[in-house]
Amino acid sequence: MVAIVNYGLGNLTSILNMHKRLGLQAIITSEPDEIRKADRLIIPGVGHFKKGMDNLHESGLKQLLDQLVLEERKPVLGICLGAQLLTKHSEEGNVDGLGWVDAVTVRFDQSRLHGLKVPHMGWSDIKLADESPLWINLPVEPRFYHVHTFHFLFEQLGEISATAMYGYEFVCAFRKNNIYGTQFHPEKSHKFGMAVLKNFSKITV
């Protein structure tokens, strides 16, 4: 069972529908008992970093997620803003994140975009950087759907799972032990995203 954590931000239904299409068990929930019982967690997100962190603190979910992910090592997948929240800090709102990975979240550097506009919106090829379990049997020439103005900046290069290009190369996926994150939206990325979510459903503690 996958618990899609509802903290007030995110395209929850799209993620749930993709799991149903794949025949995978998933629920949308903010209930602590249901989150504890789940085998894996997905932290989605669309919106503002500060609002996301405020919601996690005010709901009490931050403490619960810290326990389940950092102490009990439950597999977790952050998607888009949900993945950015796993970093140490964001320029969006100038606020600290959960700090689960050695990275910060920064705005696209307009001076390096060669006239490209932000947000980065649309399909982009990705370049795999590790042998993450998320990439098993991934279709050839993987490409994923992105919608974002901010991206990850990693201190530990060994945590980088994939990169993409938008004016310059940026990190679009990461992995640290039981913690996974994608800047792109697997739930909107057809066969490529289906492979990623199916692979995540098989990851165990």
Q: What domains appear along the chain, each with residue ranges and CATH number? A: 2-200 (3.40.50.880)
Give 85's DSSP letter.
T
29 CB neighbour count, 10 Å cutoff: 16
For residues 50 and 93, the answer to whether their CB atoms sit within 8 Å is yes
pLDDT tens string, the chain, 205 residues long: the values are 999 999 998 889 999 999 999 999 999 999 999 999 999 999 998 899 999 999 999 999 999 999 999 999 999 999 999 999 999 999 999 999 999 999 999 999 999 999 999 999 999 999 999 999 999 999 999 999 999 999 999 988 999 999 999 999 999 999 999 999 999 999 999 999 999 999 999 998 7
User: What is the set of active-site residues?
Assistant: 80, 185, 187
> Beta-strand (E) ranges in 20-113?
26-29, 40-43, 76-79, 89-90, 95-96, 103-107
Strands 40-43 and 76-79: parallel
pLDDT at 204: 85
Total length of the chain: 205
Per-residue confidence (pLDDT) for residue 11, from 0 to 100: 82
